[in-house]
Amino acid sequence: MIRKFKNQLFRAMCLLATLIGLGILVIILFTLFQKGMAGMNWQLFTEVTPGPGGEGGLANAIVGSIIMTSLGIVIAAPVGILAGTWLAEYGQNSKTADTIRFLNGMLMSAPSILIGLFVYELVVVFMGHFSGWAGAISLAIIALPVIISTTEEMLKLVPITLREAGAGLGTPRWKVTVKLSYRAVSTGIITGILLSVARISGETAPLLFTALNSSFMTVNPNEPMANLPVTIYQFAMSPYDSWNQLAWSGALLITMAILFLNIISRVLPQLKKRRS
């Protein structure tokens, strides 16, 4: 009787904790939608950020975020996939591979502001000015460990018989990896890349030290570049109602983008299972 009571009590506590977490999430999303939707209009996507107290939009910040995030993924994805491939296919349980996995885990948990300071000293000081390239490099470093870990774990799921079948036909090992293993886990690798995009989409701290911000529309990564996270940070702390409204709308845009990417990352594996 006592054991049954303890079991029921534990289940009730777990349910309560779940409901509290979901309740907080619902309150945050409701507040974000309520205040963010008030500023959703065509002007938000067509006009640049306004001056103090003025009216405008977030077009330059949206374009800047898309450019830097895209550049960051273009830099991180090939390096991360190749590194994850080496760990899964060649390094395996060697001391070098274990060291890389340890360092990758540290990089994954490192505060993003430290990465921003590192890129600031490495790139911004060297170039002599803030730039979109520096912001993209900092985002790439943040995305890199996610892609490495996902690629390695996906490749470990490939059956050894598939590799043996390729080797039995006289196929070189690298071609077995490219033609067979990659195709078998392509959905998982793409999912890891999408999750890394969601990971870096809302990063503010590293961009403060690298890309900074701009009130103008620019697509040149060699110049300081506007971006949504820093713009939201600056506008949310301002005393102007128009800027506060833009901050809420920008936060809603980022939230919806991350939600959309997470939904895609969940749907892709399900589609692959149905096809197979």
One digit per residue, the tens of pLDDT, for the chain of length 276 reads: 788 888 899 999 999 999 999 999 999 999 999 999 988 999 999 999 998 878 899 999 999 999 999 999 999 999 999 999 999 988 888 899 999 999 999 999 889 999 999 999 999 999 999 999 999 999 999 999 999 999 999 999 888 887 778 777 777 888 888 888 898 888 889 989 998 998 899 899 999 999 989 889 999 999 999 999 999 999 999 889 999 999 999 999 999 998 898 888 888 777 766 766
This prediction has a pTM of: 0.90
Tokens (6 digits) for 7: 């079991």
**CB under 8 Å to 143, separation ≥6 — which residues?**
72, 73, 76, 77, 80, 196, 197, 199, 200
Q: Taking the C-alpha atoms of 197, 200, 201 and 205 in order, what is their torsion angle to the nearest 10 degrees?
A: -170
The string of DSSP codes covering 172-222 is -HHHHIIIIIHHHTHHHHHHHHHHHHHHHHT--HHHHHHT---SS----TT
CA-closest candidate to residue 144, choices 186, 82, 96: 82
Angle 250-256-258 from CA coordinates, rounded to 5°: 105
pLDDT of amino acid 276: 62
What angle is formed at CA 67 by the lines to CA 189 and CA 221, rounded to 5 degrees?
125
Given a contact cutoff of 8 angstroms between Cβ atoms, the answer to whether 37 and 31 are in contact is: no
Number of other residues whose CB lies within 10 A of the CB of residue 229: 23
pLDDT of residue 244: 93
pLDDT value of position 53: 79
Q: What is the number of other CB atoms lying within 10 angstroms of the CB of residue 108?
A: 14
Residue (of 221, 235, 54, 83) closest to 149 by Cα position = 83
In this structure, what token pair is assigned to residue 168?
A: 């039995």
Question: Each residue of 248-273: b (16+ CB within 10 Å) or e?
Answer: bbbbbbbbebbeebeeebeebeeebe
Give, rounded to a whole angstrom, the gap between the first and last alpha carbons of the chain: 48
Output the pLDDT for position 174.
83
Backbone conformation region of residue 53, classed left if phi is above 0, alpha if psi is from -120 to 50, else beta:
left
